Chain A
Amino acid sequence: MGTPTRSIPATSFHVLFALAGGAKHGLGIADHVEAVSDGRIVMGPGTLYGTIKRLVADGMIKETSWRPEMGDDDSRRRYYTLTSRGERTLRDEIEGLSRLLARAEEYSARLAN
């Protein structure tokens, strides 16, 4: 059929997407999600850390020892980065989404004509 379907929950997608730009801790992920959604998505702590735990368990992301070189770093914060599996999943997901978007645009263009 080849119909692009979303294979992971929206929250997982947001976390993976946030980590695509480099390693981040939980608060950083929350900030990123809020920023890219223009403040429309504000993840609650349970949702955020629940998703992180699940993605770690699924092997999509992993904890990293990487730390930013300067700034307000707190050694107790845990940083996460994408695994290769996570990268692949994110890529598939973005591809699917853009196919979906292209079709949606076709459809709206037909409506406009």
Chain B
Amino acid sequence: MKRSQLPRVLRLLLWLYPRSTTAGFEREMSELVARRINNWGLVRTALWLLTDVVATHVRDVGRGGLSDIARGARLGVRRLLREPGLSLASTLTLALGLGVSSFAFGVEWGTFGRGLPVSDPGRMMDLTLTEPERGRREVDLRLAEVDRFRTAFSFDGIAAYRSSVANLAGEGGDARRISVQVVSADLFGLLETTPSLGRSLVAADHEAGAASVMVLSHAFWSSHYGADPTAVGTTVLIDGRATTIVGVMPAGFYFPSPMDAWLPHPAPDLRGTTGYRVLVRLSPGVDEDAAIAEASSIAEQLGREPPREGIRTGARLVYFPLSYASATMRTLGRLMNMSGLFLLLIACANVATLLVVRAARDSDEVRVRLALGAGRWRLLWESIGGVLAIGALGGALGWALGAGALRWYQATWPSAPLWWSYRLDLRPFLFLWSMVAVGCVVIGAIPALVAGRNPGDGMGVRGAGRAGADRVGTILVVAQLSIGGALLFVAGLMGRSAINLIGVEYHFAVGGVLTGRVTLDDNRYGSAEARLAFWTELEQRLQGLPGVRSTSLSSQLPMVRSGGAARFAIEGSDYSPDAFPRAYVDQVSRGYFANFDAPLLAGRSFNARDVMGSEPVVIVNQPFVDRYFPDGSALGKRIRIGQPEPDSVYRTIVGIAPHLWMDSDVNQRPEGLYVPWHQEAPASLRLAIRADEGPAQALTALARQALAEVDPSLALYELRTMRDWLDVRTTLYRRTGTIFIALGVVGLALSVIGLYAVLTFRVRSRAAEFGIRSALGGTPLHLQAIVMRRAAQSVVPGVVIGVGLALWLSRGLERFIFEVAAWDSATLFASFGVLGLTALVACFVPAWAAGRVDPAESIRGE
């Protein structure tokens, strides 16, 4: 029975036996197998044979085959050293690809995935209320409401916290403003941290009449008290109240962002201050859906009691890191992950290309050695040994690069929240590395196996293995160029967007504007009259401060927004109950638009006649007009805001405002409405004070003083200049832009290295042909043209596929780039132009070499 008469799968299995065992018995083995098929059928025979193949190899290795591997690896490494350029290129390619992509993955994971530094971060959630009928998705809780959730079976830990600022005065009387967190004592336990000095907060600190205490952050203790242990136990004045410092938290601990001190929240009462965010830990074994269901039923109950009575209320649970991430940030993260994956693919294809090239070059040698009786496995171990050496070195360099880049990223962002932790984790990195290594080995081994299959076949033809390698190489290069081009395009868009952001022109006053926020408590400001009186007096006092040009009070500021959009209805339009349109609604003072140098485009601003009880009015913004009144007939029309019930009031449109960045996201152009706070009497407003000249910070003390004169018990918090707000709002875009540019450049470099390697290989393997052509009178130019024509066969399809890929990608990009069209043709031309040009240079070097082949030299070489 001849082997060729056996079914293909059995022939393959027989071929897999180690040569050392089976040499000389091929014919008998085939006969043995053929007999089995007659008895057992194909499937059982194949399984039997497979088991035997594995067992034979295991025995083989056990009897000294391992030294074969070691010998092979040594030979492989020696062969690498014989060609340091190619080996270095593979190693660096792997290092760059692994390092940069693991950096991209690390940034995404560190921001959204890793979570709080506790033993089980996956159970930490952010809890907020929702008011679906008002279109509010994240409603902060009152302390009394937080307590209602403590009994929930789904949570085994719950803590409320609120950012604030306070005045700190020592015995000397010199006051300074510190940023504090007003928190529940449970917070420290939930975050699994203990004080490094003294104690943290305890439940008794919340009781009415308890002595006032404070816990310092390590950074503030170091900077303000010179890390003096005796600071613990001293008494200071916090907002005029004698407060004892009871402890210091460990270095590096803060929550949620770097801050100075923690204060216990007051005893909860029904009308107590609102504005608390809530951190909960799910009970072990409770899933998110069950927890949401339970929290929602508690929230519904809250909606049936004062002060929420009549407001339909729900609950919302979000994995904690995501509660601080906008949709834009998350999509940017996904985009970054995808780019990292692309880069990894390029690197993988690149290393594989280099290996294929190497294997093809060695194929003649392999054939000769096989024919002389060298073991096929021995040869395979040789090539795998080389790959493993490259993999180990490239992996180590990649680790260093990725870990270093992430460390740098962390270091340049000192204001990052506690859980934004950027470091390279060993296990995912090893996983990535092994995927890449396996991919490379598989691709790299194919030519070696093919070359070794029938040792006799290729003997007559020199370079017989090269045609196949050439094809594989070309496909890999086309793939690299197209992915590299698409990556470069994305990088170009993100980069341009980042540059636009740095130089963005905001059409409102930015310089010299100080902003802060005041929230009234329900105890003393329960009535609309009391609130109106307070805001009116505060505005007058601020206006009267020396050095102040103008002021405004408003619920939100340009580029500063908390809270979502509200429903509205235009008079005369019919909406189905579920499909009411939404828009942002800001409550503003009369001087708001003038204060920000943003004059109305039409109509009038709010004036002294727009008060409670007078005709309700509204100003709409330009995006609103563009969408709902494209014919320009907005003025005089009427709108209802909020719950669409028949008796809710209609507001008359009296003016049209320009687009004033009502969203915190610089890239959004939302439809919005402005109503005078004089007709609403809100409990919380932001103030914006514009200095006559000089920096805005200079107004801080004056603003505090003005507030203290109206009501000394109220805090002025979120004190920031407008410039600071804008920096905070655009940091993410600027940083991601930089990262994307780095990804694009590395992608370009890698794909061009692949092209260069393949072309160099082609020129070298055809050296004889070029030599003959040259001897027959072929000019260098002619020879170069041959090489360039071959190069074009990779570059042209690569670019065409790449442009297609880029256009497909760009459809998803629109929302995340600033003032650049997603199909931006300039960026498209630029990125693929750069790619083509670099490719041209990479081709020219080997082409030039082809033109200079010395006929005598090349033929002698054969």
Closest CB of chain B to A43's CB: distance in Å?
8
- Hey, which chain B residues are within 8 Å of A66, CB to CB? none
Q: Which residue of A lies closest to B59 (CB)?
A: A50
**Is A53 in contact with chain B by the CB < 8 A criterion?**
yes
* From A26, A42, A53, A78, contact of B21 by CB (8 A): A53
Interface of A is mostly: helix
Interface pair A49/B49, CB less than 8 Å apart: no
Q: Is the CB of A26 within 8 A of B32?
A: yes
A62 at the interface (CB under 8 A from B): no
**What separation, in Å, do the CA atoms of A50 and B65 have in the docked complex?**
13
Q: How far is the CA of A30 from the CA of B14 in the complex (A)?
A: 17
- Asked whether A25 lies within 8 Å of B56 as measured between CB atoms, the reply is no
Interfacial chain B residues near A50, Cβ < 8 Å: 21, 56, 59-60
A42's closest neighbor in chain B, by CB?
B48
Chain A nearest CB, measured from B37 CB (Å): 13
Instruction: Report if A48 contacts B (CB, 8 A).
Output: yes
Residue of B nearest to A54 (CB): B63
Report A's interface with B, CB cutoff 8 A.
25-27, 30, 42, 44-50, 53, 76-78
Q: Within the assembled complex, what's the spacing in Å between the Cα atoms of A47 and B48?
A: 11
Number of A-B pairs, beta carbon distance below 8 Å: 55
Within 8 A of A (CB), among B49-66: 49, 51-53, 55-56, 59-60
Given contacts A26-B25, A44-B49, A77-B28, 13 further A-B contacts (CB under 8 A): A27-B31, A27-B35, A42-B48, A44-B51, A45-B33, A46-B17, A46-B21, A46-B55, A47-B52, A49-B21, A49-B28, A49-B29, A78-B24
B27 within 8 A of A: yes
Proximity bits, B563-590, A CB within 8 Å = 1, else 0 = 0000000000000000000000000000
B322 CB, nearest partner CB in chain A, Å: 55
Report chain B residues within 8 Å CB of A25: 28
Query: Which residues does chain B contribute within 8 Å of A26, judged by CB atoms?
Result: 25, 28, 32
Complex contact A45–B29 (CB within 8 A): yes
Q: Which residues of A contact B55 (CB under 8 A)?
A: 44, 46-47
Query: Which 10 residue pairs spanning A and B have beta carbons closest together?
Result: A44-B52, A46-B56, A45-B29, A50-B21, A49-B25, A46-B52, A26-B28, A45-B32, A46-B17, A50-B56
| In the bound complex, CA of A50 to CA of B29 (Å) | 11
Partner of B32, one of A27, A53, A76: A27
Q: Collect the chain A residues with CB atoms within 8 Å of residue B222's CB.
A: none
Asked if B22 is at the interface of the complex by the 8 Å CB criterion, the answer is yes
C-alpha gap A95/B29 in the complex (Å): 33
Which residues of the partner chain B approach A78 to less than 8 Å between Cβ atoms?
A: 24-25, 28
> Known: A26-B25, A76-B27. Is A48-B32 also a contact (CB below 8 A)?
yes
Chain A minimum-CB-distance residue to B39:
A42
Query: Given contacts A30-B32, A50-B59, are A45 and B17 in contact (CB under 8 A)?
Result: yes
Of B22, B35, B48, B51, the residue contacting A49 (CB under 8 A) is B22
Interface positions of B from 1 to 42, Cβ below 8 Å from A: 14, 17-18, 21-22, 24-25, 27-29, 31-33, 35-36
Report chain A residues within 8 Å CB of B35.
27
In the bound complex, do residue B56 and residue A47 qualify as a contact, i.e. CB atoms below 8 Å apart? yes
- The CA of A46 and the CA of B53, in the complex, are separated in Å by 6
Q: Chain A residue with minimal CB distance to B57?
A: A46
Contact residues in A for B51 (Cβ distance below 8 Å):
44
Q: Which residues of B contact A (CB under 8 A)?
A: 14, 17-18, 21-22, 24-25, 27-29, 31-33, 35-36, 48-49, 51-53, 55-56, 59-60
Contacting residues, chain B, for A27 (C-beta < 8 A): 28, 31-32, 35
A72 to chain B, nearest CB (A): 11
A42 to B33, CA, bound (A): 11
Measured CB to CB, the closest approach of chain A to B28, in angstroms, equals 5
Complex interface: chain A residues within 8 A of B24 (CB): 78
Q: Does the CB pair B21–A44 fall under 8 Å?
A: no
**B54's closest neighbor in chain A, by CB?**
A46
CB distance from B732 to the nearest CB of A (A): 61
Complex Cα gap A45–B50 (Å) = 11
Selected A-B contacts with CB under 8 Å, 14 pairs: A26-B28, A26-B32, A30-B32, A42-B48, A44-B52, A45-B14, A45-B29, A46-B17, A46-B56, A47-B52, A49-B25, A49-B29, A50-B60, A78-B25
CA distance A47 to B35 in the complex (A): 16
Which A residues touch B48, using CB under 8 A? 42, 44
- Kindly report which residue of chain A lies nearest to residue B30, judged by CB atoms: A45
CB of A29 to closest CB in B, whole Å: 10
CA distance A49 to B51 in the complex (A): 15
Please name all residues of chain A whose beta carbon is closer than 8 Å to the beta carbon of B14 when the two chains form the complex. 45
Residues of chain A within 8 A (CB-CB) of B52 are 44-47
Distance between Cα atoms of A25 and B14 in the complex (Å): 19
Nearest opposing residue in chain B for A25, CB measure = B28
The answer to whether B22 touches A46, judged by C-beta atoms less than 8 angstroms apart, is yes
Nearest residue (CB) in B for A50 is B21
Complex Cα spacing A81 to B17, Å: 25
- Of A30, A46, A76, chain B has the most CB atoms within 10 Å of the CB of A46
- Complex-state Cα separation, A49 to B32, whole angstroms: 11
Question: How far, in whole Å, are A30 and B28 apart by their CA atoms in the complex?
Answer: 11
Q: Is the CB of A45 within 8 A of B59?
A: no
CB-nearest residue of chain A relative to B16? Answer: A46
**Bound-state Cα–Cα, A95 to B36, Å:** 33
State in angstroms the CA–CA spacing of A42 and B40 once bound together. 11
Contact B27 A45 (CB under 8 A): no
Q: Give A95 Cβ to nearest chain B Cβ, in Å.
A: 27
Contacts of B18 in A (CB 8 A): 46
* Nearest chain A residue, comparing its CB with the CB of B24: A78
- Residues from chain A with a CB closer than 8 A to the CB of B28 are 25-27, 45, 49, 77-78
